[in-house]
């Protein structure tokens, strides 16, 4: 859990045990401006202090089909580059739950689906807000998918708000990308990709 300090844009992490009383005290201190000690212990210069990794399997899944961002600066540099539609998937290794794991798996499948077409105009990146900190251009809600249009870098990232199925995510990318993606998304894409994975596992 985080907050972004409005006057500086600095990210402050809630580091105590998550319970009702602890959160109530934290929010009260924030409103009163009593966070300087916590901020000083958390930050060294402008360095974000990573949280504990509770689910390392997420990185192992995503690194197969996506470029794993190692810092906020790396993400911002990629989003500033024009000429490619950038699909950004955000997650948090601080959380371990079945829903996030399922969405991560679907995003990996979507990236693999487009990788088969080998489009230079489309790039998939994944970003762990637990290790790198929230970016000013993405929401704190995870897991989430965004699209940064190739030729409209001054605009807000397009935020996918649909059901995290393969068909829905793939269709969203095709529809909102600036570069032409000449693909007709299969309505049974979920089943098709799962069958491919099963066949691949049998061959291995």
Whether the CB-CB separation of 67 and 119 falls below 8 Å is answered with no
92, 25: one domain: no
Confidence of residue 182 (pLDDT cuts 50, 70, 90): confident
Average pLDDT over residues 2-25: 56
Instruction: Examine residue 52 and state whether it is found in any structural domain, yes or no.
Output: no
Q: Is 46 helix (H, G, I), strand (E, B) or coil?
A: coil
pLDDT at residue 146 greater than cutoff 50: yes
- What's the whole-model pTM score? 0.71
Mean pLDDT across the stretch 57-67? 81
Assess whether 76 and 175 both reside in one domain: yes
Do 125 and 69 contact (CB within 8 A), yes or no? yes
Domain that holds residue 21: 2-42
Could you tell me whether strands 11-13 and 2-4 are parallel, antiparallel, or unpaired per DSSP bridges?
Answer: antiparallel
Mean pLDDT for the stretch of residues 70-83: 86
Residue pLDDT, tens place only, 107-129: 988 998 888 877 888 999 999 98
Mean pLDDT score of the chain, rounded to an integer?
77
Q: What percent of the chain has pLDDT over 90?
A: 17
Q: How many domains is the chain built from?
A: 2
Give the model's pLDDT for residue 7. Answer: 46
**Spatial contact of 143 and 90, defined as CB atoms under 8 Å apart:** yes
Q: What pLDDT score does 40 carry? A: 44
Tell whether 30 and 109 lie within a shared domain.
Answer: no
Whether residue 113 is found in the same domain as residue 19: no
């Amino acid at each position: 859990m985080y907050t972004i300090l409005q006057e500086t844009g600095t990210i402050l992490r809630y580091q105590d045990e998550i319970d009702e009383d602890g959160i109530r005290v934290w929010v009260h201190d924030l409103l009163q401006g009593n966070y300087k000690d916590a901020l000083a212990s958390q930050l060294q210069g402008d360095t974000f202090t990573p949280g504990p990794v509770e689910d390392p399997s997420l990185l192992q899944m995503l690194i197969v089909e996506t470029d794993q961002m190692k810092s906020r600066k790396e993400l911002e540099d990629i989003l500033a580059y024009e000429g490619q539609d950038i699909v950004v998937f955000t997650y948090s290794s601080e959380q371990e739950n079945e829903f996030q794991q399922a969405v991560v798996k679907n995003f990996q499948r979507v990236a693999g689906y487009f990788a088969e077409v080998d489009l230079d105009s489309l790039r998939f990146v994944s970003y762990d807000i637990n290790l790198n900190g929230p970016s000013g251009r993405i929401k704190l809600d995870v897991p989430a998918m965004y699209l940064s249009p190739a030729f409209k870098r001054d605009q807000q990232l397009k935020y996918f708000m649909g059901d995290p199925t393969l068909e829905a995510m793939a269709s969203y990318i095709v529809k909102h990308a600036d570069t032409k993606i000449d693909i007709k998304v299969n309505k049974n894409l979920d089943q098709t990709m799962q069958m491919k994975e099963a066949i691949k596992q049998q061959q291995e």
